[in-house]
Structure 1
Amino acid sequence: MDGRQWRSTIAAAQAGDRRALDELVEGWLPLVYNIVGRALNGHADVDDVVQETMLRAVDNLGSLRDPDSFRSWLVAIAMRQIRDRARRRTSESLSEDAAHDAADFAELTVLRLQLEGQRREVAEAVRWLDDEDRQLLSLWWLEVAGEITRRELAAAVGISRQHAAVRVQRMKARLETARGIVRALDSSCPELREVTVRWDGRPDSVWRKRLARHIRGCGYCSGSHESVVPAERLLVGIALVPIPVGFTLSLAFGGKTAVAATTVGWSAKVIGALTKPAVAMTAGATIVAGGTYVVTQPADEPPPRAAPTALSTARPKPSPKPSASPAPSPPPKKVDLYGTVVDAVDRAPDPNARPTDLPRRPASGLTSSGGPMTVMNHRGDRVTLKGQGYFLVRWQILPHYRPGALVMPTWTGLRGKLFHVASGGGRRMDDPLGGDDGSVTGMGGPDIGYAVLPSGTQQMWQNEYFYVDGTVTLTQNERGCDYNVTVFPRSWDDMNKDVMTGPDQGAIRYGLVRDNGKDTAPVPQYLTRAEPEDAATVPQKSQVADD
């Protein structure tokens, strides 16, 4: 839609045209989401700030005198809401858990736009900036991408264009420092490993200064191993990050505003705020999409029922009375769940306890998108396995390179069934290394830092075995603690030999057989039949509905 069309749409919306208002909400929501998302780095408050911005814009649209200034007016509203949120946070204690669970907009940018090389580096450097710089960057990024003008940037910040130029230059200098930190952390500098041995993997101003100081004095880290492209050249042509795919509501709202919001997958908060009347969703409701769904619940609770559709809630037509006794109605078809709930930390078995026999499932062969062996060292690496058979996921956790919170790999796009059948490799990753005192394990130690698992995550073994009958994609979601996984097909004989190797043969412990040969065998954590754009957002759930 060109400028003339937007002006007429804005004028119609001011005159009370509901359809025009819907078009404004649908058309400008992506811009607001990108401004707020980058300014807050994907914090959980993004939904609330975007919601408040759009509501204020809708409520005050009548006060806008010049339709040509709508974009700068809307951007200014968004920046005011961001600053108001920052002021509120200064008097509130931010929950550590909330900060850790918040989605990272830099990662969303990388994953959703499939950025590589130095473009990826710039996106990852954003997390090292302070709030004020990140707010300015959110606007400058859009200016460089051609979405807003320098005049609109200056108006949104509330300063002159000359002052805006100075502020942007200072922010760019700090962004280049952050880019240097990202490059250094990806390097193999041994001195840097010593500097970061107690770092928890979360960027902050203290560590930014420490790392920048190291880089300035380190010949290896300060030396550029490739020509560094200016950030603005890298950002030219980068599209807006698409609004995240959340869930699609199959309910009929009164106006198109709700339809537009749900079509792009916006969150329940924004949808609820922009629709009248609001529709309440009960806690724990199951959202159905594409005929499959993922559920989670304690083992002693029945699975939730699927949400009713318009067809299932329609009033049935009366049927004529039968002349004879009717045949009994067949029982309703039940959607069977397969797999055992394993969303809990499991204790290590007795190292000398020989495991039960390993069931043998049919294996006609697997194909892997990564070939005979797929090594996944970086966030976003993935492999798709198709067919029927066993495969191995081998773990390498590297807290001595970078300790901190470990973000688990995720399984997406499942078609068919996937089971977690066995664990081996002679040890669990929390078994002691190099001594009997247990001071250092595969998960780290006091001198090098620790790899910290998410709450409720099973402790992985060095070798984890799975069986697939269908297709599934595994994605590496490294963030915080450094880790690698290697994936390759494996035969039942090789797996059985590994699992049955015990301490008397040089292993720390026997392996563990998890498979019972039935559909009630355990399924992996972080598994879904959906194909989210950001695999790292898959929740920890261990039951998948059958098709």
Structure 2
Amino acid sequence: MLPDPDVGRALIDQRTVEAARAGDRQALDELVVRSLPLVYNIVGRALNGHGDTDDVVQETMIRVIGNLGGLRDPARYRPWLVAIAVRQVRDRVHRRRHNGEELAVEPAGPDFAELTILRLQLEGERREVAESVRWLDDADRQVFSLWCLELAGELTRPELASALGLTRQHVAVRVQRMKSRLETARGIVRALEGGCRELAEITGSWDGHPDSLWRKRLARHVRSCPTCGTQRATLPAERLLAGLALVPLPVGFALGTLVKAPAAAAPAGLMAQATAMLAKPMAAVTLAGGVAVAGGSAYVFEELANPPPPPAALPLGPTLPAPESAEPRAALTPPAPSPRRISLYGSVVDTVDRAPDPRRRPGPLPRRRETGMTLSTGDKADLKHRGENVTFRGRGYLLVRWQVMNGGQVVMPTWTALTGKLFHVASGGGRRLDDRQPGTSRTWMGLRTGTARLPPGAQQMWQNEYYHLSGSVTLNQNESSETDYNIFTKPVTHTEIVADIGTPPDGAGIIRYGLVRDTGGDSTPVPQYLTRTRNPAQVPQQSRVR
């Protein structure tokens, strides 16, 4: 008979916890290293990558280390750890709701659904499931985060029930309800990727951020629409998620801000600064920031920025209640999300704008956040043929450099499958593409023959166009047989844009200063030919993005 892997894991946890509490530095390091990915995935999925994620992970680990001496049964370390993480998530959500803060704001970078897709390289229906999680409410995302760990083999159903403080029967009901809403969300994701005209009209006033009101409205359409309602999933979510690996921690993620000791006194090891503390009676230790005194040694604990007050029900000491016997606290159940105001953003130039004076310096370019950008093609993309495309994901600036090879009617490239926001922040490259070449009647927008013609109302293009993305979007090359053009694109920095648009003009007027389009807010222009659907063909220009 094969040994039960769950029993073996519990035995390993028990021995490691006991060794850490006895002062074994290596055991404490091992415990933290094993715990971090689990906590990061629980918190990240439950908060969908909200900016509070790292803080909640750190708060969880502070409480785990601080209360390790009070764990009554070291063999139940894993459900105890998960229960603390879940409680920290609930407390953070509850505090924000109580203070009137909006939790479902745009993450500082890619949300956790996008990180899951990128880091685990999900495709097809697995990707669809990850995208659908954005449509779940806070309480359902918390259940989903633990259910995923169960499917991945990281938690058993009894451990899941213990972590939530519920009976196994109650957990089964909660999981079933969450799965039903997840399937509804999968139908919405599939419908938004289709070409239903009625759905496009319904979403005309949508700002692109999933919420419960739009989930109900779109689900109602999907159920009644003969086009959207026929698009069914072929595999259930549990089969797609079974055995899926944990999302790895971000590169460079560490608990360096959790514990900080003087260099001369800091022992080796990730969290070994706390080892001496754990070997002493917990009552003798102060963990509320400042100094923790254990025996004759002092260890400096660095406080978190804007630390929340510790909940009264979760003291930092040996009296931590065992979560496996705890009942769910009604006060920590997040209320239903309040209706959010639907807002549009951006505007475009719907007529060909006149060229500015080449000697006029551009205004200052506002600085937007840059947290990293990934491309589906690697470091850059060269789109030289019709049908080629590149997908950008992340938050930062990107360059689109034009090369028009001959005259004729230009079929414009399109931006599709937008999630989040995309702004047209600056134009540069030293010239507009309708500038005249010296000594000829030809423009730069017809390098070999003739003059290229833009569609009516299309904004004139510069050699270099700069954009800021927060989310994901796909750029499609749509050249026709009449007009050949190439597009070269890559991520750039704010500094590089400022250097480009600040190039001074020369005497012939061919080299010109660039143009700043960024207003610093949502009134900044958006690219023309931009849509949230995935169809790259002839996207109409829009004066607002919804």
For normalisation by structure 2, the TM-score amounts to 0.56
Q: Structure 1 residue 273: deviation in Å?
A: 12
CA offsets 1:79-112 (integer angstroms, 9 cap, x no match): 1111112221221122589545464111111111
Q: Distance in 2 between matches of 1:48 and 1:58?
A: 15
**SS of the residue 2:204 aligns to:** coil
The aligned counterpart of 1:117 is: 124
Q: Quick one: which of 130, 145, 149 aligns to 2:152?
A: 145
Q: Structure 1 residue 254: deviation in Å?
A: 3.9
Question: Which AA in structure 1 matches 2:270?
Answer: T
Q: Structure 1 residue 52: deviation in Å?
A: 1.5
Q: Quick one: which of 423, 426, 429 aligns to 1:421?
A: 429
The aligned counterpart of 1:299 is: none
Pair 1:21-2:36 in alignment: no
- Residues 477 and 133 of structure 1, relative CA distance in 2, 3 Å threshold: same
Matched positions, count: 371
**SS of the residue 1:176 aligns to:** helix
Q: Distance in 2 between matches of 1:256 and 1:142?
A: 28
Q: Distance in 2 between matches of 1:96 and 1:32?
A: 19
Q: Structure 1 residue 375: deviation in Å?
A: 3.5
The aligned counterpart of 2:52 is: 45
Q: Distance in 1 between matches of 2:127 and 2:267?
A: 42
Q: Distance in 1 between matches of 2:177 and 2:303?
A: 46
Pair 1:245-2:251 in alignment: yes
Q: Distance in 2 between matches of 1:132 and 1:397?
A: 34
Q: Quick one: which of 226, 233, 239 aligns to 1:233?
A: 239
Q: Is the 8 A contact 1:33 1:50 kept in 2?
A: yes
Q: Structure 1 residue 370: deviation in Å?
A: 5.9
The aligned counterpart of 1:325 is: none
Q: Quick one: which of 415, 421, 425 aligns to 1:406?
A: 421
Q: Is the 8 A contact 1:39 1:138 kept in 2?
A: yes
Q: Is the 8 A contact 1:379 1:477 kept in 2?
A: no
Pair 1:192-2:199 in alignment: yes
Q: Distance in 2 between matches of 1:242 and 1:257?
A: 18
Q: Quick one: which of 219, 223, 233 aligns to 2:226?
A: 219
Q: Distance in 1 between matches of 2:124 and 2:161?
A: 30
Q: Structure 1 residue 6: deviation in Å?
A: 3.3
Q: Distance in 2 between matches of 1:208 and 1:395?
A: 31
Q: Distance in 2 between matches of 1:107 and 1:133?
A: 18
CA offsets 1:456-483 (integer angstroms, 9 cap, x no match): xxxxx6565389xxxxxx998754xx66
Q: Which runs of 5+ in 2 are unaligned?
A: 274-289, 293-297, 306-346, 360-378, 405-411, 436-453, 487-499, 507-512, 518-546
Q: Is the 8 A contact 1:178 1:208 kept in 2?
A: yes
**SS of the residue 1:188 aligns to:** coil
Q: Distance in 2 between matches of 1:376 and 1:236?
A: 32
Q: Distance in 2 between matches of 1:354 and 1:36?
A: 53
The aligned counterpart of 1:79 is: 86
Q: Is the 8 A contact 2:50 2:103 kept in 1?
A: no
Q: Structure 1 residue 74: deviation in Å?
A: 0.5
CA offsets 1:237-278 (integer angstroms, 9 cap, x no match): 2111111124788x9654412599xxxxxxxxxxx9999535
The aligned counterpart of 1:70 is: 77
Q: Structure 1 residue 62: deviation in Å?
A: 1.3
**SS of the residue 1:215 aligns to:** helix
CA offsets 1:340-362 (integer angstroms, 9 cap, x no match): xxxxx9x9997155758xxxxxx
Q: Is the 8 A contact 2:21 2:69 kept in 1?
A: yes
Q: Is the 8 A contact 1:422 1:466 kept in 2?
A: no
**SS of the residue 2:429 aligns to:** strand
Question: Which AA in structure 2 matches 1:465?
Answer: N
Q: Structure 1 residue 65: deviation in Å?
A: 2.7
CA RMSD of aligned residues (A): 5.1
**SS of the residue 2:270 aligns to:** helix
Q: Distance in 2 between matches of 1:244 and 1:276?
A: 27
Q: Is the 8 A contact 2:392 2:474 kept in 1?
A: no
Pair 1:372-2:384 in alignment: yes
- Residues 424 and 192 of structure 1, relative CA distance in 2, 3 Å threshold: farther
Q: Quick one: which of 252, 277, 299 aligns to 2:300?
A: 277
The aligned counterpart of 2:376 is: none
Q: Distance in 1 between matches of 2:380 and 2:178?
A: 44
The aligned counterpart of 1:351 is: 354
The aligned counterpart of 1:396 is: 414
Q: Distance in 2 between matches of 1:245 and 1:395?
A: 34
Q: Distance in 2 between matches of 1:124 and 1:227?
A: 14
The aligned counterpart of 2:449 is: none
Q: Quick one: which of 173, 177, 180 aligns to 1:173?
A: 180
Q: Is the 8 A contact 2:420 2:471 kept in 1?
A: no
Question: Which AA in structure 1 matches 2:249?
Answer: I
Question: Which AA in structure 2 matches 1:257?
Answer: L
The aligned counterpart of 2:166 is: 159
Q: Structure 1 residue 424: deviation in Å?
A: 4.5
Q: Distance in 2 between matches of 1:227 and 1:84?
A: 35
Q: Distance in 1 between matches of 2:184 and 2:104?
A: 28
- Residues 221 and 276 of structure 1, relative CA distance in 2, 3 Å threshold: farther
**SS of the residue 1:465 aligns to:** strand
Q: Distance in 1 between matches of 2:13 and 2:253?
A: 29
Q: Distance in 1 between matches of 2:304 and 2:505?
A: 39
State the percentage of identical aligned residues.
47
Q: Structure 1 residue 486: deviation in Å?
A: 3.9
Q: Is the 8 A contact 1:254 1:276 kept in 2?
A: no
Q: Distance in 1 between matches of 2:514 and 2:501?
A: 11
The aligned counterpart of 2:475 is: 484
- Residues 114 and 476 of structure 1, relative CA distance in 2, 3 Å threshold: farther
Q: Distance in 2 between matches of 1:494 and 1:422?
A: 19
Question: Which AA in structure 1 matches 2:389?
Answer: M
